[in-house]
Structure 1
Amino acid sequence: MKYLLGILLIFLCSKFLVSCATTSKIEALKPLPSDNVPLVYKNKTSFISMPVEISVKEIEKQVNKNIKGLIFEDNTIEDDKTEMKIWKTNDITISEKNGIITSIIPLKIWAKFKYGTEFLGLNDTREVNMNGIITLTSKAHLTNWKLTTTSKLETIKWNESPTVLIAGKNVPITYIINPTLSLFKTKIAKTVDDAINATCDFKPQVLDVLGTLSTPFLTSDAYEAWFKLIPIELYVTDAVLKNNKITMDMGLKCDMQTMVGQEPKNNFDAKAIVLKPVNKMPDRVTVSVAAVSTFASASKVITKNFKGQEFGSGNRKIVVQGVEIWEKDKKLIIALDITGSINGTIYLSGIPKYNAETFEIYFDELDYVLNTKNVLLKSANWLAQGTILKKIRENCKYSIKENLDEGKKNMQPYLENYSPTKGVFVNGSFDNFVFERIELSNKAIIAFITTTGKMDIKIDGLE
């Protein structure tokens, strides 16, 4: 029995010694991440130039929607010896010619006139009823998204003869009222102008559109990538009225971000948007997007690159089981969990760079962290050799071409008659994305991408 126990003990010891000879354990000092400060980076602001077109029929629709029934009422006779009420009896028709708006308005007018003298109470009043169609010509101004008009009454076509109330009876007075229309012209024109000025403010719709565009949306399920637009200032030129439409140039100064991970918050505040009138606007869109890739996301991509690959020479081999990345002292630390001839974690440090020809992010000056190298020299000198490091370096990179192509593809639906809200349509095109630079934070790799293009907005069919 003692003999058998001795053989068994020798056998177990030999297996242990063989195991120690073929597999070493690395216990390297882990480089700790930099201080946990907020993710802050500086991105170039983007400028989106968007010619805007509003059809005259859209103006007509908004006017009819907001001007209904009784549109004017003056119950004070003492100030100008006149009381007046004006009703719209049917839809207003609006057209444009040579930059002048022509409005055909069916109206019913009731007026009370006071005449005579206050001396000894010698005065009287008369009520006048008129029902007809008036034609107004107006000079239109669209400034800071608000339409205002200066109108002049051109003609009145009576549906019924104007009457005056005498002794409880309506007596036709067409022959009298026509020569004295000057009493009504200014007041009727001003009434219509005031109604248009009060109802044709498109600013709320524009801010609603900005609010919708500012809502983050998912651009990639696979990468959990979100796009976010942050408006800063809104510019607009004075409007031009031509060919039955109002055109102007609008410009939006904004920041653009893509975020990987959780859905970012929508911090849009309509009151914080600065509205600025300008004389001229560039006709190009200049976009600079900050593509934020968290270390966790980059780690997943690089881990896939190592999947199923062995590194080594002869019968000494290692397999990378997982990759973790973080930032320290403006460099990236790449932790490789390895098994095989050596078990444990090795740490590499490098500076992320971009290859414009291959669309790849790679790590320049990639080398073992000093503490790791000392351990490697003791544990397995062959792993510290440049040949092994070179093979590892080839896998510590990832292409963003697919991300750029996918980003452009995901943006396309928002440039093809996209309607962020009813009655507003966006069209446009972008050139290819151009990679600009990389920055490191303590939380992510931030790639800055730029592009140019054109966009336009058409307003037609607002509710």
Structure 2
Amino acid sequence: MLKFFPLLFLIILLIFTSSCSTTNKIATLKPEPDDATPLVYENTPSYINLPISIKLRDIENQTNSLLNGLIYEDNNIEDDDIEMKVWKQAPIKIENDNGSTGEKIKTVLPLKVWVKYRIGTKKLGVELYNYKEFNLNGVVTLISDVALTNWKLSTKTELKSLNWNESPTMVVFGKNVPVTYLINPTVSLFRSKIERKIDESIEKSMDFKPNVLAAIEKICTPFQMSEAYESWLRIVPIEIYSTEAKLKNDSFLLEMGMKCNMETLIGRQPESKFNAAKIILKPVTKIPKQISANIAAVSTYTEASKIMTKNFVGQEFGSGSKKVKVQNVAIWHKEGKMVIALDLLGSVNGTIYLAGFPEYNDLTKEIFFDKLDYALDTKNKLMRTANWLAQGLILRKIQESCRYSIKPNLEEGKQSMMSYLKNYSPMPGVFVNGKMEDIQFQKIQLTNQAIIAFIKVNGTVNVSVDGLK
């Protein structure tokens, strides 16, 4: 009986030591995360269409507000025996001159004319004059050629006709004598004045540069695509192009386009790179319709870790009695690589660390890790304590589960862009519309908070400026 106890103790000791040899505690050095500077991704230039639609009624309203009251005055009666004042009598009407060849506008100006006319002579210092005053109402019709010059819609106006509402008369020797023959020649005196007044007022009212630049400045203000991931889209203008203005029905149509870079930035709101002083208007015959936009599909490390942890659920790695299960996954950035921390339970207990470069599979829309290997300290400890786990076959099997789909992120990024392409109005009278085609993967970059997959989307964007304010 006494001999039995040493034998029993030996068996228990062997079982205990055998059990201890199959479960190794591993304590490896954690590769501490480092900082990845915020991203600025500049793509190839894109084009945004800026069709400017200006209705004739807007020109009419602006012209009426600028041209009011007295529009011509001649107070010198000595040179031609006439004094004259001309007022705008009623609102000016501006319309398409459909009866003319080419693109012209017709301006109808109701006016009131006051004329002081003298008849007589001056002899030996004695004035022998008879003065008469007339108040006349009439309508002047002017025809204008239209051109675009230095951001302004300019006109070259000519007086086409002047129709009096009634024929002016004066009493001469007791008879009413028509004096239209006296008044009409005076039209030549103020004709050029009226033409110039019309041209100046239209040019001033049609300086659309402030409107266009204000719209572009709004468009170029970085806007947030995702609040959760702090992703921003910034448009940086390079050049502005413009075709010739075309008059169609009741509107002037001006095709404009902006050559720009679209940058995606992660982090705090970036500054705008809009500089009105550097924008030059260049004449072109055609504006490109297609644009290419870059979108950031952002996966935070926390999000990616949760997805990969699910991939390992129920899986065992190893052979025979030597197996481990992955309980949890955590990932972060270090020196351009991804560090993947795996919490193990089984024949080896503890945390091991892998490192590799993120890649993208365009077919499956998955991010995977190329050249995945154990971190140096992890590899050294596994070689001493669990060499079987350090073998390449097990590593490859683990690597198969170190992947996750970013398809939801891609769709979220696309939907974020689409929200700005459905009649989005950054300011009154400015509307953004467009459509997007399928997405194309570009590249992956890392920040200290997330994996960023950059994608390219082709489509069309129209920014319409409708009306003058």
TM-score after normalising by structure 1: 0.78
2:373 is aligned, of 367, 390, 396, to 367
What SS does structure 2 have at the residue aligned with 1:433?
strand
1:278 is aligned with what amino acid? P
Q: 1:419/1:128 Cα in 2 relative to 1: closer, same or farther (>3 Å)?
A: farther
Q: 1:131/1:359 Cα in 2 relative to 1: closer, same or farther (>3 Å)?
A: farther
The answer to which of 72-81 and 250-259 deviates more is 72-81
Matched, 1:90 2:91: yes
Is residue 77–residue 114 contact of structure 1 (8 Å, CA) maintained in 2? no
Alpha-carbon distance in structure 1 between the residues aligned to 2:118 and 2:382: 108
Alpha-carbon distance in structure 2 between the residues aligned to 1:361 and 1:52: 43
Q: 1:136/1:334 Cα in 2 relative to 1: closer, same or farther (>3 Å)?
A: same
Q: 1:402/1:333 Cα in 2 relative to 1: closer, same or farther (>3 Å)?
A: closer
Is residue 311–residue 388 contact of structure 1 (8 Å, CA) maintained in 2? no
1:316 is aligned with what amino acid? K
Is residue 242–residue 257 contact of structure 2 (8 Å, CA) maintained in 1? yes
1:389 is aligned with what amino acid? L
Alpha-carbon distance in structure 2 between the residues aligned to 1:387 and 1:80: 110
Matched, 1:139 2:159: no
Q: 1:110/1:306 Cα in 2 relative to 1: closer, same or farther (>3 Å)?
A: farther
Alpha-carbon distance in structure 2 between the residues aligned to 1:345 and 1:192: 83
Q: 1:397/1:56 Cα in 2 relative to 1: closer, same or farther (>3 Å)?
A: farther
Q: 1:43/1:413 Cα in 2 relative to 1: closer, same or farther (>3 Å)?
A: closer
What SS does structure 2 have at the residue aligned with 1:181?
helix
Is residue 324–residue 335 contact of structure 1 (8 Å, CA) maintained in 2? yes
- Residue 70 of structure 1 corresponds to which residue in structure 2? 69
**Cα deviation digits, residues 23-81 of structure 1 (max 9, x gap):** 513222526637x65645443222224444333334334434x4253374668859998
Alpha-carbon distance in structure 2 between the residues aligned to 1:234 and 1:101: 27
Matched, 1:324 2:325: no
What are the ranges of 5 or more consecutive residues in structure 1 without an aligned counterpart? 1-10, 165-170
**Cα deviation digits, residues 187-234 of structure 1 (max 9, x gap):** 111101111111211111112212222233343456454333232322
What SS does structure 1 have at the residue aligned with 2:286?
coil
Alpha-carbon distance in structure 1 between the residues aligned to 2:393 and 2:46: 45
- Residue 26 of structure 1 corresponds to which residue in structure 2? 27
Alpha-carbon distance in structure 1 between the residues aligned to 2:380 and 2:79: 101
- Residue 286 of structure 2 corresponds to which residue in structure 1? 281
Is residue 311–residue 392 contact of structure 1 (8 Å, CA) maintained in 2? no
What SS does structure 1 have at the residue aligned with 2:44?
coil
- Residue 167 of structure 1 corresponds to which residue in structure 2? none
Is residue 297–residue 409 contact of structure 2 (8 Å, CA) maintained in 1? no
What SS does structure 2 have at the residue aligned with 1:432?
strand
Matched, 1:47 2:51: no
Is residue 26–residue 376 contact of structure 1 (8 Å, CA) maintained in 2? no
What SS does structure 2 have at the residue aligned with 1:349?
strand
Within 5 Å, which residues of 2 pair with 1:197-216?
197-216=203-222
Alpha-carbon distance in structure 1 between the residues aligned to 2:118 and 2:402: 93
Is residue 425–residue 431 contact of structure 2 (8 Å, CA) maintained in 1? yes
**Cα deviation digits, residues 402-450 of structure 1 (max 9, x gap):** 3333333333343344433322333332222222333457776554432
Matched, 1:392 2:395: no
Matched, 1:300 2:310: no
Is residue 87–residue 109 contact of structure 1 (8 Å, CA) maintained in 2? no
Within 5 Å, which residues of 2 pair with 1:104-123?
104-109=108-113
1:333 is aligned, of 326, 332, 338, to 338
1:350 is aligned, of 328, 352, 356, to 356
Is residue 22–residue 322 contact of structure 2 (8 Å, CA) maintained in 1? no
Within 5 Å, which residues of 2 pair with 1:203-242?
203-220=209-226, 223-242=229-248
Matched, 1:405 2:405: no
Is residue 42–residue 264 contact of structure 2 (8 Å, CA) maintained in 1? no
Alpha-carbon distance in structure 2 between the residues aligned to 1:405 and 1:121: 96
Alpha-carbon distance in structure 2 between the residues aligned to 1:31 and 1:279: 55
2:199 is aligned, of 185, 193, 197, to 193
**Cα deviation digits, residues 126-171 of structure 1 (max 9, x gap):** 876543322111011123431111101112233466699xxxxxx9
Q: 1:373/1:231 Cα in 2 relative to 1: closer, same or farther (>3 Å)?
A: same
Alpha-carbon distance in structure 1 between the residues aligned to 2:295 and 2:447: 13
- Residue 174 of structure 2 corresponds to which residue in structure 1? none
Is residue 44–residue 261 contact of structure 2 (8 Å, CA) maintained in 1? yes
Q: 1:63/1:24 Cα in 2 relative to 1: closer, same or farther (>3 Å)?
A: farther
Within 5 Å, which residues of 2 pair with 1:383-462?
383-439=389-445, 445-462=451-468
Q: How many residues align?
A: 440
The answer to which of 361-370 and 214-223 deviates more is 214-223
Percent same amino acid among aligned pairs? 37
What are the ranges of 5 or more consecutive residues in structure 2 without an aligned counterpart? 1-11, 171-176
What SS does structure 1 have at the residue aligned with 2:438?
coil
TM-score after normalising by structure 2: 0.77
Greater radius of gyration (CA): 2
